[in-house]
Amino acid sequence: MRIGISIVTAFLLFMRSRWNMIAELLAFIPFMLISIQNAYMWSIMDAGEMQKHTFSYIALIIGAGMKLLWRKHWSIKALYLSLPINILFFYLFSELNAE
C-alpha cells in the first residue's frame, strides 16, 4: 500500500502543472490515501497495536493541518471520507468489539 501511495503521489507531482492542479488538492490526495492505509491497518490490529498506531493518525492529521494550513473545507472532506472508510474496514476485517 505504501509503495502504491508513493507512486500515485510522485505521478501527481509530475503531472501537477499539466493538469493545473492546486497545491491543496495535491496534498489532499496523498493525505486521503494515507488515511485509507491507516484505516486498513487499524482494522487488522489487536487492541495493543491499535493504541500505538493511533499516533500515526494523530501525526497525519496534525501534520497536514499545521504544514498546509488548508482551508476548513479540506478538513471536513477528509473527515467525511475517512470516517466511513474506518467503519467499513472495521466491519470487514477487525476482530475487536466495543469492549
User: SS3 sequence, 9-71?
Assistant: HHHHHHHHHHHCCCHHHHHHHHHHHHHHHHHHHHHCCCHHHHHHHHHHHHHHHHHHHHHHCCC
How many domains is the chain partitioned into structurally? 1
Q: Within a domain: residue 15?
A: yes
Would you state the pLDDT for residue 89? 84
Q: Within a domain: residue 88?
A: yes
- Residue 60: give the domain boundaries: 2-93
Q: Within a domain: residue 39?
A: yes
Would you state the pLDDT for residue 48? 73
- pTM confidence score: 0.65
pLDDT digits (tens, 9 = 90+) for 17-68: 899 888 888 888 888 888 888 888 877 877 777 777 777 777 776 666 665 6
- Please report which confidence band the pLDDT of residue 11 belongs to, taking 50, 70 and 90 as the band edges: very high
